[in-house]
């Protein structure tokens, strides 16, 4: 992703920022399902979430923000410093080791207190990142992986296990994103036709194998999550994201929160029929958006036009387009126009500040852009002309970062998607630090 940076001092960069409004809601909420938190734990959670969301601040600022007495904040922060979760910082943000410090001294989260592994599963590769509590990515790797193989889930578990054990910082959990539907991140039941995974209890399998909290999410939503923390979300609280690549994906972030819908299926636009007379889609229907604009749809269209031979790929089409081949340009233009037209309706429905385009297909954006923008602008309502369109470069690690961030944000996520794992992750953080 362009322009992203990670560091312990950037207040909006930490995954904990997803506890949107948590500095208020956490302290008011003493219940989580049937479990009741002791008052001290509630305050501790509120202090940690506030530091995660706003970045380093003084005890006096915390007391004001949380409407607590300076004495109460002092007690909790002393305990957090003793546990190694929070540290005193000097004016430049460096750790400061002169005791408990003055009331006005800045306190910040200790990145090395905990970490999460995030992974992006694609049909042919696995991308993993190791991300610290303060949002710093310390390791990442991309390796070939056959997600369609019969033992793919067992393989995935062992790859994650091998990657996760390479660091002594406490592992709070593992986040995994997949190119399909996920009922809830904490349950992790997935439906991923593209990988041949049907009614798969991925979360349960991985929890059994790794013995740590596992959160599973749809890839586009994980990417939107990363964007909401490290990218567009820094300046836009409400945005839409469309991804082009093997499939066509969509996500909507409203007021800093990724919208999941009732069953986690919000944004599943790829198999909406845009022309019933269109080509056959691999899902069995005809004329799905993906049948026109997904990777296989582009290849099929290029073959029909004689642009590529039987072994040609999207890269072959792009090379032909680069040479000015009219057929190749028409393949991209037709796909782009259909996606632009479809997405124009979402602008009217969602009224986002910005529309972000991402995904591996964005590498060929110059061939998509003219028809996409033209159809988007001509089909959307007049007022939506002010919606900016931005393109993000494609990096698998960005998706994996989103998956890791979901884990790190979990203790402070008040929405049902966090489920029962909220306290498990928090308990690992506090126990490991004690
Ligand atoms: Zn389809």
Per-run averaged pLDDT (10 residues), the chain, 434 residues:
28 41 27 41 77 81 90 90 86 62 78 91 96 87 96 97 89 96 94 94 97 96 87 83 95 91 94 96 94 97 96 97 98 98 94 94 96 94 87 86 88 59 78 58
Q: What is the DSSP letter of 288?
A: B
pLDDT at 423: 76
pLDDT at 98: 54
- CATH 3.30.420.40 residue spans of the chain: 114-224+396-433, 236-391
> Which among 260, 230, 263, 237 has a CA at the least distance from the CA of 358?
230
Class of domain 11-112: mainly alpha
State the distance from the centre of ligand 1 to the C-alpha of 353, rounded, in angstroms: 29
Neighbours of ion ligand 1 (CB under 5 A): 271, 281, 283, 285, 288
Q: Mind giving me the DSSP string for 214-232?
A: EEEEEHHHHHHHHHHHHSG
State the distance from the centre of ligand 1 to the C-alpha of 342, rounded, in angstroms: 15
- CATH 1.10.10.10 residue spans of the chain: 11-112
Q: Which residues are registered as beta bridge partners of 389?
A: 355
State the distance from the centre of ligand 1 to the C-alpha of 193, rounded, in angstroms: 10
Q: What is 114-224+396-433's CATH number?
A: 3.30.420.40
Q: Are 221 and 4 in contact (CB under 8 A)?
A: no
State the distance from the centre of ligand 1 to the C-alpha of 69, rounded, in angstroms: 57
State the distance from the centre of ligand 1 to the C-alpha of 279, rounded, in angstroms: 10
Q: What is the pTM of this model?
A: 0.82
Q: Are 228 and 222 in contact (CB under 8 A)?
A: no
From the centroid of its chain, how far is CA 247? 17
pLDDT at 123: 93
State the distance from the centre of ligand 1 to the C-alpha of 276, rounded, in angstroms: 11
CATH 3.30.420.40 matches 236-391: yes
pLDDT at 36: 41
pLDDT at 352: 95
pLDDT at 218: 97
State the distance from the centre of ligand 1 to the C-alpha of 283, rounded, in angstroms: 4
State the distance from the centre of ligand 1 to the C-alpha of 269, rounded, in angstroms: 9
């Amino acid at each position: 992703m362009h322009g992203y940076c990670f560091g312990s001092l950037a207040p909006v960069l930490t995954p904990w920022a997803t506890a949107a409004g948590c500095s208020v809601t956490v302290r008011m909420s003493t219940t989580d399902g049937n479990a009741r938190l002791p008052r001290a734990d509630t305050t501790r959670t509120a202090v940690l979430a506030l530091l995660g969301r706003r970045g380093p601040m003084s005890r006096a600022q915390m007391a004001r923000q949380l409407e607590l007495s300076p004495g109460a904040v002092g007690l909790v922060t002393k305990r957090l410093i003793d546990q190694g979760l929070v540290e005193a910082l000097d004016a430049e943000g460096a750790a400061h080791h002169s005791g408990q410090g003055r009331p006005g001294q800045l306190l910040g989260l200790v990145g090395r207190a905990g970490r999460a592994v995030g992974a992006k599963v694609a049909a042919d590769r696995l991308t993993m990142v190791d991300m610290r509590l303060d949002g710093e990515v310390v390791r990442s790797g991309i390796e070939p992986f056959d997600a369609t193989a019969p033992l793919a889930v067992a393989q995935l578990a062992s790859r994650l296990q091998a990657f996760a054990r390479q660091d002594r910082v406490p592992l709070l959990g593992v986040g995994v994103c997949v190119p399909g539907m996920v009922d809830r991140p904490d349950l992790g039941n997935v439906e991923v036709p593209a990988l041949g995974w049907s009614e798969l209890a991925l979360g349960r399998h991985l929890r059994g194998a790794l013995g740590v909290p596992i959160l599973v999410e749809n890839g586009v939503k994980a990417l939107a999550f990363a964007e909401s923390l490290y990218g567009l979300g820094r300046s836009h609280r409400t945005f839409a994201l469309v991804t082009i690549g093997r499939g066509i994906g969509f996500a909507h972030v409203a007021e800093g929160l990724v919208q999941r819908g009732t069953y986690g299926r919000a944004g599943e636009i790829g198999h909406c029929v845009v022309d019933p007379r269109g080509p056959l889609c691999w899902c069995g229907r005809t004329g799905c958006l993906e049948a026109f604009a997904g990777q296989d749809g582009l290849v099929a269209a290029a073959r029909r036009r004689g642009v590529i031979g039987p072994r040609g790929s999207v890269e072959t089409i792009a090379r032909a387009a680069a040479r000015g081949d009219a057929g190749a340009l028409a393949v991209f233009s037709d796909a782009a126009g259909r996606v632009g037209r479809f997405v124009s309706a979402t602008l009217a429905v969602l009224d986002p500040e910005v529309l972000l385009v991402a995904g591996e297909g964005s590498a060929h954006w110059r061939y998509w852009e003219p028809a996409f923008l033209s159809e988007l602008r001509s089909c959307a309502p007049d007022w939506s002309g002010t919606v900016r369109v931005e393109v993000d470069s494609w990096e698998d690690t960005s998706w994996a970062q989103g998956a890791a961030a979901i884990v790190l944000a979990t203790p402070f996520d008040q929405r049902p998607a966090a489920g029962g794992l909220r306290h498990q992750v928090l308990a690992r953080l506090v126990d490991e630090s004690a």
